[in-house]
Amino acid sequence: MPQRLSNLRVVDPVLTQLAIGFGANIFGAAEALFPLVEIDTEAGKIPKFGTEHFKIYNTLRALRASSNRIQPSDIDGFDINLDEHDLEYPIDYRESAEAAFPLRSHATNVVTQGIQLRREKYCADLAQNAANYAASNKITLSGNSQFTDGTNSDPENVISDAKDAIRAQIAKDPNTMVIGHSTWKVLKRHPKMRELLSTASKRLVRMEDLQDIFEIENIVIGSSVFSADGTNAVSDVWGDNIVLAYVPQKQQDMERSMYDAA
């Protein structure tokens, strides 16, 4: 323990401006797919509506005839129960007194990023688990259909088919895409993607290019990493894949349906 206090002492005023360590993690992909929603209680029920508003009804009514009454579907729902997540960073008053750098600020950053990373990893595992999707809502590329095959693969066509699959399920086009970091490295260099650029200059595909080509307004690169306890080796939280989804967006001063976020 005396070594701990010794490590906290920095006497060189120049070196106090420098530090060795990992930079801050990059989050945002989880929030894009799973926006935070505040509720007043730790449990509740989320209503789940059917497709009755997509049915074609007989609306023609003769003079003085009865109204064309529909048979409303039952409103289903599912229960939610919340868990608490927290982290604690112990600081002895002697450590705080000896530290030549803002130890409390460091501790705050560590626990804050720790909670954020736990959420990012949980959401990534949920979104990337193929078992959570119906057969019609997932595809595994193999052979020359993989994006690493710049000659035979066609990313734009793959995404177009995926968008159609989502629309067939929920009657809405996807508006959100999360791309794993390793996939993004391949995608921005793909020759067929670069051919679709409106400019004649030779450059890599940019984020705004993807938004135009795929017609997806919200595209996020999953760049966060994690390490196993006791090691410095890091791995990508978001793997070699692309996740497409429709995520209701919060709207201010705009008319919205009951199915969109407030």
**57-76: pLDDT as tens digits:** 999 999 999 999 998 888 88
Residue 14: its pLDDT value, please? 47
Q: What share of the chain is helix, strand, coil (3-state, %, to 5)?
A: 35, 10, 50
pTM for the model: 0.81
**At a CB cut-off of 8 Å and minimum separation 6, what does 23 contact?**
none
The DSSP symbol for 122 reads H
Answer whether 234's CB lies under 8 Å from 227's CB.
Answer: yes
* Distance in angstroms (rounded) separating the CA atoms of residues 145 and 159: 13
* Distance in angstroms (rounded) separating the CA atoms of residues 63 and 37: 49
Residue 102: pLDDT band by 50, 70, 90 thresholds? Answer: confident
* Distance in angstroms (rounded) separating the CA atoms of residues 216 and 220: 10
**109-155: pLDDT as tens digits:** 999 999 999 999 999 999 999 999 999 999 999 999 999 999 999 99
Answer whether 128's CB lies under 8 Å from 182's CB.
Answer: no
- 11: pLDDT strictly greater than 60: no
Residue 150: its pLDDT value, please? 93
Average pLDDT over residues 207-217: 93
The mean of the pLDDT values for the chain is 86
**Could you tell me the domains of the chain?**
2-34+85-245 (3.90.1690.10)
